[in-house]
Structure 1
Amino acid sequence: MSKANNVGGTSRRRGRGLLVATIAVVAAMSMGMTACGGSSDSGSKSETTTSTSSKSSSDSKASSSSKDSTKIDADKFKQIQNGMTYDQVKQIIGSDGTEESTTQVGDVTSKIYEWESDGFGVATVTFENDKVVNKAQAGVSGSSSVQITMDQYNQVQTGMTYDQVKQVMGGDGELTSDTKVADHTSQIYMWSGKSVGANATITFMDGKVESKAQYGLDS
């Protein structure tokens, strides 16, 4: 097996590990809501310019055609909204997902589908009675361009809004999970640190910081 294949397999396994943790959170939220009664982006010179333009257009088309239209990407991930049906999500992505699990609790049927990206990314979408209640991704949208420090992380306090956290961090985070169960929402955002692999994840419940975690951040 080639080194590239080994890296790809490792990246996808790490991505799936992150998504498994997210799915566990969704399941906990869903069960909690059910227990509470809740429903579940001039001459020669002219000829040279035209030729260059044509070549650029041709290269662009070749690049576009090499992209697999049946794979999920950052733009498609953004288009998926809570409340959509499986068919609507399928139409956005351009292919069927791989069913990962089906769970029946009372009159609520939960199904989790997975789609892979062109690279090493993976995304899952959770449906309850054929309506999206969660989407999560790892390596599909790309990491946040903002690099944060431990000092910034320490300034994030429980109860802050996303805009307040964004101001502290110096820019937007990468949305890795978006959940809506009954009247409650939960989003998880990730910001990268300056060291390789360093990051911080902030969980928002109903628009306010509920928890935070970090790995390897520098001061």
Structure 2
Amino acid sequence: MDIFISYSLTGLKTRVYSIPLVIIPYKTAGSSQSESSQIKNEKDTPVTYANFEKLALGSALKEAEDLLGKAKKISDMEGGVIYAWDGNDMSSISVIVKDDQIIEKNQTDLADRKAQLTPEALGQIQDGMTLDQVKAILGDPAITREAKTDDGKAEVLYEWKQADGAAVTLVAVDGQTVAIDKPAV
């Protein structure tokens, strides 16, 4: 079964991907809490947030494979080829490669979920704030997506996520905030 994803973080261009839907069980019946806690042990996999940060846009797929191991080819598309590496639990890293260069990188569930999104903090977050202003309130974010747009601009999606999944996201293009999304307070 394929799942279709269409998004436009900045309104600049919508991307549509068709990727295989893979269901991975988090915890099997009868497994203990200690077994499920071991699932996310970063020592078992090179697919970590630290290694995600080391991936540089413009580098070759071979450099990513030297760091993360052999990539799985997920899909060919007009804008490039999607490759992915699965981590523990539901975590992953994916890249889009065009002309043997990484033009986009994404990570899912690799960063610690330490944000404390209190009603007071969320009430302070306003449209038009800079990344530094939001960081002053919420602390350091995780980068979940980094890409170069067709016109060469750097697009970055920052995320502050807490353990229950609630998150604040900020999209910046060439260092300028273009969108902030937060839970209602």
- Counterpart for residue 79 of structure 1: 54
What is the one-letter code of the residue matched to 1:204?
A
Offset of 1:86 from its aligned partner?
0.5
Aligned length: 154
Q: Alignment partner of 1:148: what SS?
A: coil
Offset of 1:154 from its aligned partner?
4.4
- Regions of 4+ moved over 6 Å: none
**Aligned partners of 1:199, 1:112: CA distance in 2, in Å?**
26
Q: What whole-Å deviation, never above 9, does each CA across 1:119-166 have from its counterpart, x for those lacking one?
A: 3211111112111111111112222x2312344334444443322221
Offset of 1:85 from its aligned partner?
0.5
**Aligned partners of 1:77, 1:196: CA distance in 2, in Å?**
23
**Aligned partners of 1:31, 1:139: CA distance in 2, in Å?**
23
Q: Alignment partner of 1:167: what SS?
A: helix
- Counterpart for residue 90 of structure 2: 120
Q: Alignment partner of 2:158: what SS?
A: strand
Aligned 8 A contact 1:157 1:209 in 2: no
- Counterpart for residue 134 of structure 2: 165
Structure having the larger proportion of residues in strand? 2
Q: 1:97 aligns with which of 50, 54, 71?
A: 71
Structure 2's unaligned 5+ residue stretches are: 16-41
Q: Alignment partner of 1:166: what SS?
A: helix
Aligned 8 A contact 2:83 2:96 in 1: yes
**Residues 159 and 132 of structure 1: CA distance in aligned 2, closer, same or farther (over 3 Å):** farther
What is the one-letter code of the residue matched to 2:88?
D
Q: Alignment partner of 1:125: what SS?
A: strand
Aligned 8 A contact 2:170 2:179 in 1: yes
Structure 1's unaligned 5+ residue stretches are: 1-16, 33-65
TM-score (norm 1): 0.60
Q: What whole-Å deviation, never above 9, does each CA across 1:51-87 have from its counterpart, x for those lacking one?
A: xxxxxxxxxxxxxxx9445x41122111101111000
**Aligned partners of 1:150, 1:138: CA distance in 2, in Å?**
25
Q: 2:146 aligns with which of 146, 158, 178?
A: 178
Offset of 1:89 from its aligned partner?
0.7
What is the one-letter code of the residue matched to 1:202?
L
Alignment of 1:170-209 (within 5 A): 171-181=139-149, 182-193=151-162, 196-209=164-177
Aligned 8 A contact 1:160 1:208 in 2: no
* Percentage of identical aligned residues: 22
What is the one-letter code of the residue matched to 2:136?
Q
TM-score (norm 2): 0.70
**Residues 192 and 103 of structure 1: CA distance in aligned 2, closer, same or farther (over 3 Å):** closer
Structure having the larger proportion of residues in helix? 1
**Aligned partners of 2:84, 2:8: CA distance in 1, in Å?**
17
- Please identify the structure whose Cα radius of gyration is greater: 1
